[in-house]
Amino acid sequence: MKLTGYEDLRVQRTISNIYKAFEKLICEKEYQKITVKELSELAQINKKTFYRYYPTLDDLLTEMQAKYAEEYLKEIKEYQYPKDLAKSVRAFFTYSADQGEAYDKITSSVVGNYVGIRQQMIDNVMNSTWGESKKFNLMTDWQQNALLNFVEQTGLNVYKQWVSQGKQEPLEDVIESATLLMQGGVNNFLKQNK
């Protein structure tokens, strides 16, 4: 349930507890093994209360991913593509680094329910950013798909590698490497496809 801020404090607390419990369970086990019963117990609510707000765990996961996407899009809403690609890379990595372990698990997952939900979030972000670019919209569908796949996979794979290695590399070094890879690839691709 997306909160507007006008809900009763009990409702706000219940939704907050559901989110916290869900994030804790995401960190502890595979998504397929999370049950409404254990989530409800951890959130200190009964199962009926959970179902009042969410028909399924997938709906809760979808809402969580939409919230991540919405918050990230607020940070980059003024960016123009491809001009602000470097700013966008920095925003992605700093935003992602601040989200916590549950976000990292969802973002780094290679199989299961997180992948589909994550792809919906990525598609939303890509369409809201690159979809507004004049240069991008002059490309063929094939060129657009190639460019978006490159940007998406490069950023995501660099982030996954950083997470899998325990975030030992300084964030600034990771951002610099990802920016060089992405900007070099995008700039060369755009030059070739004028």
The token pair that represents 114 in the structure block: 């997180």
pLDDT tens, residue by residue, 167-188: 999 999 999 999 999 999 998 8
Q: How many CB atoms lie within 10 A of CB 39?
A: 21
11 contacts: CB under 8 Å, gap ≥ 6: 1, 3
The token pair that represents 101 in the structure block: 């372990």
pLDDT tens, residue by residue, 8-32: 778 889 999 999 999 999 999 988 8
Residues counted in the chain: 194
* Cβ pair 92, 179 in contact under 8 A: no
Q: For the structural domain made of 9-55, what CATH number should be given? A: 1.10.10
CA-CA distance, 107 to 98, in Å (whole number)?
A: 13
Helix (H, G, I), strand (E, B) or coil at 30: coil
The predicted model scores a pTM of 0.84
